Amino acid sequence: MLRSLLFIPGNAPGMLLKSDFLQADQIIFDLEDSVSQAEKDAARTLVKSFLREMPLKKARASVRINDISTPHWKKDLEAVAPVLDGVIVLPKSERPEDILAVEEHMRGLCEGPIPKIAALIETAAGVERSFEIANCSKNLCALLLGGEDLSLNLGCRRTKESGEISYARYRLLNSAASAQIPAYDTPFTDTDDGEGLQRDCRCARAIGFSGKLAIHPSQVFAINREFSPTPEEIDYAREVLEAIRVSEAQGRGVASLRGKMIDAPIVKRAQRLLSGLDG
């Protein structure tokens, strides 16, 4: 189950070393915003060396490269793609061509299968083309929402209530669902506001996000908790499947539970919830 995706600055050896012990489901080693222009070369070499010599054992690995309008993205891929057992995160993904360009460049670098790609959508154009992006490649494994850059692009104030990115959230969810891939919500940037983070997680989970990006290790625990099924949800899912099993054993076409008919979507939702517990 992938719930928390934690950014770790790519040019900080100490942070790289700690990354696997922070309880995050996925680490995103960052070569973009957290790395100054003068240190781009050093960061990509450091992340390459780390991935090659100290592969993560607990968390899944991913690397956020620089976006394709920069002179850095190809060098980033050349450094990390051959040693990455994980996912490339492409920031400012705006068009299917962006994803395909990354995919094409990686094919020339990797002997075996190329890493999957997650599209970080953080511009108005990206939001509008998210359906085409989500469905452009079988290597595209997730959509991520970046609310800070998006609100900058929209020219609006970023608020904790996130009303300004509601449209983007729903649009991304719809696009991701159309491609049967998960969507992950934008980070909550006030690292001192635990209640705000909890509210934001609940809102995101309620509308269909599978998890959330994190910008500080202190956010991981809350994100994991809020995006995990509750014991009540797990019990209910098990009861649903048991009710169906009994109903089928008795040759009945339909089942009911707690006074409600159990139909196919309820069964599928229960199966999905329980299967997520295994991964």
Question: Which parts of this chain interact with other proteins (CB under 8 A)?
Answer: 11-14, 17, 41-42, 45-46, 48-50, 52-54
Rounded CA-CA distance 68/99 in Å is 9
Nearer to other proteins, 17 or 254 (CB): 17
Give the shortest CB-248-to-other proteins separation in angstroms.
55
Nearer to other proteins, 54 or 125 (CB): 54
Residue position matching structure tokens 């008919």:
261
Length of the chain: 279
Give the shortest CB-54-to-other proteins separation in angstroms.
6
Nearer to other proteins, 3 or 44 (CB): 44
In the chain, the amino acid numbered 154 is L
Six-digit token pair at 143? 């959509």
Give the shortest CB-213-to-other proteins separation in angstroms.
25
Nearer to other proteins, 54 or 254 (CB): 54
Six-digit token pair at 73? 């993205």
Rounded CA-CA distance 242/235 in Å is 10
Give the shortest CB-55-to-other proteins separation in angstroms.
11
Nearer to other proteins, 9 or 208 (CB): 9
Neighbours of 155 (CB within 10 A): 8
Nearer to other proteins, 36 or 218 (CB): 36
Helix (H) or strand (E) holding 117: strand 116-121
Give the shortest CB-39-to-other proteins separation in angstroms.
9
CA distances from 225 to 24, 230, 233 (A): 11, 9, 13
6 with 26: CB under 8 angstroms?
yes
Give the shortest CB-42-to-other proteins separation in angstroms.
5
Q: What is the DSSP string of 1-46?
A: ---EEEEEETT-HHHHHHGGGS--SEEEEESSTTS-GGGHHHHHHH
